[in-house]
Structure 1
């Protein structure tokens, strides 16, 4: 069964997007190959994406690097939304229920990873006990405001343990 992984690049003060979902800050920090990203990209079988992320800002908009993983991901995408478009773009499926979206993404990913994109979808997956792993990359910038890596006011503590042999910020949800 596919592993459900939330991965994101964050500022050192814990934001994955600036105010209003602005991602332009990230462009200068996407500076070339990263062995962890390469390993992950080889194993991603599907994306599970929130509606705001799917329709939101892209630091590479209008370039050949637009899209997930700098435009290098070309596979199935499941978008969790209560307002699906009348017609889905090729390779995109809309789902209105978290459990249905996860099931569709896991089926599409096979034995690979379902990479969760979007802090709200990651929060929902944690609350439902569905998230298996978390991988964070950090950019040397302080944004001061925006979309937090994970915002779970009043939530309960979630214990993580480092994955043996992986980068310093790749964890298994306990």
Structure 2
């Protein structure tokens, strides 16, 4: 059964995108990463937030522009949205989290569903369907932008599986 993984790069102060969703801050830090290179073949599907799907691309201006992982991955994508979007090859637009998760997990088979986008990751966490988190810190302080999690509330228990990789243990501690 597929697991949902929220994998993201973030600034040291906790932002995955700059103000307005700007991803250009990440471009100088893209490159070979053994952990990411190991993960990519284990991804069977993407569950993407609408703003992330239609947003800025750190691979802008390269041959990987507009492609998942800069062109390093191909497969089914499920975009969670309530706004109509033009059809795109390999992309299914779904307006319900439960249906989107089920479809992405079915498409992924035994591999990961990689969650892209802070809001959809928050929704998955709150629904109790997020299994793992991979946080890849980047040596920069952005100071403002889109937080990796913007979720007031109680702490969430995590178990470290290996460096930067965690299993969601519980929605509440204590």
Output the TM-score relative to the length of structure 2: 0.94
- Secondary structure (helix, strand or coil) at the match of 1:10 reads strand
Match of 1:77 in 2: 77
Q: 56-65 or 40-49: which moved more?
A: 56-65
Structure 1 residue ranges, 4+ long, deviating more than 6 angstroms after superposition: none
Deviation at 1:69, TM superposition (A): 1.3
1:115-135 deviation per Cα after TM superposition (whole angstroms, max 9, x unaligned): 000000000000000000000
Return the offset for 1:62. Answer: 3.4
Shift of 1:40: 0.8
Query: How far apart are residue 70 of structure 1 and its match?
Result: 1.9
Q: What is the aligned partner in structure 2 of residue 169 from structure 1?
A: 164
Number of equivalences: 168
Take 1:18 and 1:138, find their aligned partners in 2: how far apart are those partners?
Answer: 14
Aligned residue number for residue 159 of structure 1: 157
Measured after TM superposition, the shift of residue 54 of structure 1 is: 0.1
What is the alpha-carbon distance in structure 2 between the residues aligned to residue 19 and residue 13 of structure 1?
Answer: 14
Whole-angstrom distance in 1 between the partners of 2:112 and 2:101: 12
Q: Which runs of 5+ in 1 are unaligned?
A: none
The whole-number CA distance in structure 1 between the counterparts of 2:96 and 2:16 is: 24
TM-score, length-scaled by structure 1: 0.94
1:4-83 paired onto structure 2 within 5 Å = 4-30=4-30, 32-66=31-65, 67-83=67-83
Deviation at residue 35 of structure 1 after TM alignment: 1.3
Q: Secondary structure of the equivalent of 2:113?
A: strand
- Gaps of at least 5 residues in structure 2 are 170-174
Q: Which moved more, 1:66-75 or 1:20-29?
A: 66-75
Shift of 1:60: 1.1
Deviation at 1:107, TM superposition (A): 0.6
Aligned to 1:146: 145
Q: Secondary structure at the match of 1:49?
A: strand
- Any idea what SS the aligned residue of 2:125 has? helix
